[in-house]
Amino acid sequence: MRAELANIFFMDKNTITGLLIIFAILIGYSIWMTPSAEEMQARRHKADSIAQAMHIQDSIAAASRIERLIQDSINRTKEAETTTAVAQENAGTQSETATVDRDKLGVFANSAKGEDKIFIIESELLKLKVSAKGGKIISAQVKQFQTFDSLPLILFDSAQTNFGITFFANNRIINTNDLYFQPATKENVIVAEGDSAQLSMRLYVDATDSTFNKDSYIEFLYTLKGNNYMMDFDINFVGMEKYIDKGSNFIDLNWNTDLLREEKTVDRMNGPTIYYKYYKDDVDYLSERKDDEEELLTKVKWVSFKQRFFSSILIADNYFLNGKVKVFNKEKPVNPRYLRSMTMTLGLPFQAGKDYSIPMSLYFGPNKFKTLRQYKLDLERQIPLGWGFFLLAWINRYAVIPVFNLLEGFGWNYGIIILVLTVLLKIVLFPIAYKSYVSSAKMRVLKPDIDELAKKFPKKEDAMKKQQATMSLYKQAGVNPMAGCVPMLLQMPILFAMFRFFPAAFELRQQSFLWATDLSSYDSILQLPFTIPIYGDHVSLFTLLMTVSTILYTKINQELMGSSQQQMPGMKTMMYLMPIMFLGWFNNYASGLSYYYFLANMITFGQMFFIRKSINEDKIRAQIEINKKRKPKKKSGWQKRLEEAAKQKGYTPKKR
């Protein structure tokens, strides 16, 4: 990439000026199209206007819930004082703890104690562990993949996982996370390919102090399908009309966990965070590096605990009412594989007074574009392909990924696939590169004439005269000074699209090539006994090759450009500093990306010599002289404006 960028800086001042104008237009357009802070605030809090009517009822219910909570706490405090005295007198028959638990949990008191058994539901793709305590999934293993150090790939820490719903039952706040569920199906389930199986975990209502009412329960129903990372998850309320408060029209679902480290490196542009999609609206996410949280005040379709290459996603069949999401880093994590902490609280729509079901789905699997795309839920928007700039996303989505997947079908090593992909891209871009080189050749041929104009108008106050004379020379010679930079601008979206694609490509994960053991992480040929700031504690050979090839290209290109570089002496130093600066960045980045840029540099290096050998500058000079003798074309609007500005400054152009 630096090789192509170098060509931009090796143009004359007029070309650089044109390039800066185009960049200014692009940047201005981006700023103009970017929503303001007020607009972003309005979008994120659009429920205040769009869904205000819907949330009035919820707000009343929430206020009522808080009021009941306060009153319930007061009542329990008063009752606790009485029961404590009774407990002291009857310590031999009933413990104080049991009395407090029964008072606090009401009809769910019997479920406060139990055996913390683990149940398994497993397919060829997933192995899920469900705990009797909370009836929740405490471990999700993606079976066909391993961690960077060859351990089973488990997405989150079972010891730090809380999952449950919170609701009102007989004026008591109940949280299922701490209650013991009972299996209502076969305890350990193996799902055959093409088939499906269920694991039912039920939280029963008490019948007596020691028995359960099997006709009244809350059920967590997990339905796992063979050969699918997506599973159904339903919360069913059966026979609960006498227990759940009549005014409840929503319940809260809470999911908190610590994600575990699966990769050798953490991508700075594709780090662990929470993604979420508003109902029939955009996908958004929290900070990938800093602690961050967000109130979701309107309907939400799904929320994802995203790692670099894997995700744990909760998806509503219809929508969640609202929610709150948060990401943060613990100061003293317990698990040595700790990555980051995630929390979500979601409002689930609910109708009290009858049997009710809340259908949802859970996804535990890879962040692979083709896999996520098939669900048609915008889950693939978690993969950073340059969605912020539509052109980058289009290039990756409709060109790079299809070609990459096509080459995968040949069964080649991924290093060879990257090589072939780079060659194909360079072939597609060759006409653009050729036009750029031809334009540069024309500018070199005109260099003596431009120097003569500089001598003719040496004073600063003659700058407008020199500019007009230069434009007139370009017009006579049939040379467009912007012809060199426009082709380069057309190439740059593809170059930047590659910058986003390779680090995010799941296909490169743990794929080896030559000395690189993982093309999605850095390659290392030497481990340093110390850490160099910015650079790191290892030496990446692909990054060194990329840097050396860029410096070599810069040196040869400057020699070929010759005296044209004398106009911008500071640019020479800058072009040597650029690859050195990028050395620190890419040393810890995906080796597949450094390998691609190295290949791109070498192919560009070859194209440069091929084109220069094929271009006859004497013929170009002769054609320019012929163009000068032709009848001048009609003046352009730009030239007319230049002449008018010159006249206002007292300069009258000579008639030809």
User: What count of residues does the chain have?
Assistant: 656
Q: How confident is the model at residue 45 (pLDDT cuts 50, 70, 90)?
A: very low
* Overall pTM surpassing 0.85 (yes/no): no
| 551 residue type, one letter | I
Mean pLDDT score of the chain: 79
- Return the pLDDT at 212: 93
Query: Which band of pLDDT confidence, cut at 50, 70 and 90, is reported for residue 86?
Result: very low
Is the pLDDT higher at 510 or at 553? 510
pLDDT at residue 641 in the model: 63
Q: Is the pLDDT of residue 329 over 50?
A: yes
pLDDT tens for 471-527 read: 777 777 666 666 656 666 767 788 888 888 888 899 999 999 999 999 999 999 988
The confidence score (pLDDT) of residue 633 equals: 53
Domains of the chain: 2-29+392-507+592-629 (no CATH), 111-383 (2.70.98.90)
Which backbone phi and psi does 120 adopt, to 5 degrees? -115, 135
Q: Which pLDDT band, with edges at 50, 70 and 90, does 49 fall under? A: very low
Q: Look up residue 216 and give its amino acid.
A: S
Calpha distance 567→561 (Å, rounded): 12
Q: Which of 353, 302, 294 is nearest to 325 (CA)?
A: 294
pLDDT in tens, 123-133: 999 999 999 99
Q: How far does Cα 496 stand from its chain's mean position?
A: 15
Residue written as token pair 């020699």: 559
347 pLDDT higher than 80: yes
Q: What is the chain's percent helix, strand, coil content, to nearest 5?
A: 45, 25, 30
pLDDT of residue 50: 41
Q: What local confidence, expressed as pLDDT, does residue 75 receive?
A: 47
Of 38-47, 154-163, 267-276, minimum mean pLDDT range: 38-47
Contact 305, 379 (CB under 8 A): no
Cα 506 to Cα 504: distance, rounded to the nearest angstrom: 6
Mean pLDDT value of segment 590-611: 88
CA–CA separation, 127 and 140 (whole Å): 6
pLDDT of amino acid 52: 43
Highest mean pLDDT among 389-393, 423-427, 534-538, 570-574: 423-427
| pLDDT at residue number 200 | 95
Three-state secondary structure of 530-542:
EEECCCEEEECHH
Pairwise CA distance, residues 624 & 644, whole Å? 27
pLDDT score at 46: 44
- 78 has pLDDT over 80: no
Position 2, amino acid: R
Kindly calculate the radius of gyration of the chain based on its CA atoms and give it in whole angstroms.
34
